[in-house]
Amino acid sequence: MCYVTIIDDSEHEDFIKNMITGTSQAHCAVLIVAAGVGEFEAGISENGQTREHALLAYTLGVKQLIVGVNKMDSTEPSYSQKRYEEIVKEVSTSIKKIGRNPDTVAFVPISGWKGDNMLEPSANIP
């Protein structure tokens, strides 16, 4: 039997305890990062939640990581290949510093709002 537990901490410090509890039992984590200018930079910054969550997942023994690059529809221009590649590079550098091999991480560009790449491949996505 397989169990799936979804933990949404909504990028809020008050939910970190829930995130740690759930992650300690996980085999795989999906890390969602926002592609919007300013949003991504805040999350990946030295004190950002994105960096903290990636570190916690690795430290707690999560073997597989998937990174969903969300809000691709809000990049300039929309669905920017360049912005996606910048984010992949930054996240790869960040997770490599904590000991995870970025070559084993799947990066998936998505738009939750418009449904791009959520259930089926989208022609809008780079």
61-112 pLDDT tens trace: 998 999 999 999 999 999 999 999 999 999 999 999 999 999 999 999 999 9
Domain ranges of the chain: 25-109
Residue % of the chain over a pLDDT of 90: 63
Q: Which two tokens stand for residue 3?
A: 């169990």
Q: Which residues contact 80 (CB under 8 A, 6 or more apart)?
A: 35, 72, 126
* Cα-based angle 20, 26, 27 (whole degrees, multiple of 5): 145
Q: Does the domain formed by 25-109 have CATH 3.40.350.10? A: no
DSSP per position, 37-65: TTHHHHHHSTT-HHHHHHHHHHHTT--EE
